[in-house]
């Protein structure tokens, strides 16, 4: 891994901070199927992981040659949020990992502002980031475009080249790389299959990890001279 000074750590939300991807994909599949686009939870995960509901809608409409209901994104959001209160949990050890990183931090997620806030609140993580929470609603183009990451860096007054992004999806990694940022790929969420790590590396992640307890040392190591940190190999 190329060592660079880091001024800002940007976290994706779903699948990185909150273990929500399975819930979101189930809701997405249910709503799309109800409106004449049969798709399974696993297919949603494979095709639309890391993509905003807005971008996913455009893809589906292009395929079927007709418009979906105007409120379909709201339907997906409502279906997802119904399950949050009872089923949503934080990614294991992520709260302690966030607290152990002394650098400025923010969230940049493809989710809607309400979905991000609800997820972070349910997982007990909202106060660790507020008010530095940014969503696809803040920009014209969502991931895999770099716009959201560049917007987050601008709002946080950070140079893109000195930002570190934590992502769990190929579109997120693509967008962060296009923004000129360094990316760590996380594959510890319940939605991650045995092929997930290879997918993150193929997308351009500089390093991959599956346990949030590793993150503080990885962040520290980025700014150090060659060597190892706390039992981890040199990157």
Tell me what the mean pLDDT of segment 120-149 comes to.
Answer: 96
CATH superfamily to which 8-20+89-222 belongs: HAD superfamily/HAD-like (3.40.50.1000)
Look at residue 220 in the predicted model and tell me its pLDDT.
Answer: 92
| Bond before 25 cis per omega within 30 degrees | no
User: In this predicted model, what pLDDT tens digit does every residue of 79-127 receive, in sequence order?
Assistant: 888 878 778 899 999 999 999 999 999 999 998 899 899 999 999 999 9
| CA–CA gap between residue 133 and residue 106 (Å, rounded) | 6
| CA–CA gap between residue 112 and residue 14 (Å, rounded) | 11
Look at residue 155 in the predicted model and tell me its pLDDT.
Answer: 98
Say how far residue 111 (Cα) sits from the centre of its chain.
9
Look at residue 4 in the predicted model and tell me its pLDDT.
Answer: 79
- In 3D, which of 220, 185, 191 has the Cα closest to residue 205? 185
21-87 sits in which CATH class? Answer: mainly alpha
Q: Please answer whether residues 183 and 204 qualify as being in contact, where contact means their C-beta atoms are separated by less than 8 angstroms.
A: yes
**Domain boundaries, given as residue ranges, for the chain:** 8-20+89-222, 21-87
Look at residue 134 in the predicted model and tell me its pLDDT.
Answer: 98
Tell me what the mean pLDDT of segment 32-54 comes to.
Answer: 88
Look at residue 35 in the predicted model and tell me its pLDDT.
Answer: 94
User: In this predicted model, what pLDDT tens digit does every residue of 1-14 receive, in sequence order?
Assistant: 567 789 999 999 99
Q: Please answer whether residues 113 and 94 qualify as being in contact, where contact means their C-beta atoms are separated by less than 8 angstroms.
A: no
């Amino acid at each position: 891994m190329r060592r660079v000074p880091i001024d800002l750590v940007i976290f994706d939300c779903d699948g990185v901070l909150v273990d929500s991807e399975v819930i979101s994909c189930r809701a997405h599949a249910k709503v799309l199927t109800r409106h004449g686009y049969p798709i399974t939870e696993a297919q949603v995960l494979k095709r639309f992981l890391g993509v905003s509901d807005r971008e996913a809608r455009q893809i589906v409409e292009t395929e079927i040659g007709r418009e979906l209901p105007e409120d379909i994104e709201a339907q997906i959001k409502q279906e997802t949020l119904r399950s949050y209160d009872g089923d949503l949990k934080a990614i294991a050890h992520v709260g302690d990992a966030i607290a152990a990183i002394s650098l400025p931090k923010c969230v940049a997620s493809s989710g809607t502002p309400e979905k991000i806030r609800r997820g972070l609140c349910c997982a007990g993580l909202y106060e660790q980031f507020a008010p530095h929470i940014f969503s696809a609603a803040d920009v014209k183009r969502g991931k895999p475009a770099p716009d959201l990451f560049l917007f987050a860096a601008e709002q946080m007054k950070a140079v893109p080249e000195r930002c570190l992004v934590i992502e769990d999806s190929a579109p997120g990694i693509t967008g962060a790389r296009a923004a000129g940022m360094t990316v760590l790929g996380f594959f510890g969420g319940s939605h991650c299959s045995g092929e997930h790590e290879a997918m993150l590396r193929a997308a351009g992640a500089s390093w991959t990890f599956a346990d949030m307890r590793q993150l503080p040392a990885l962040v520290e190591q980025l700014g150090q001279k060659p060597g190892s940190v706390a039992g981890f190999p040199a990157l």
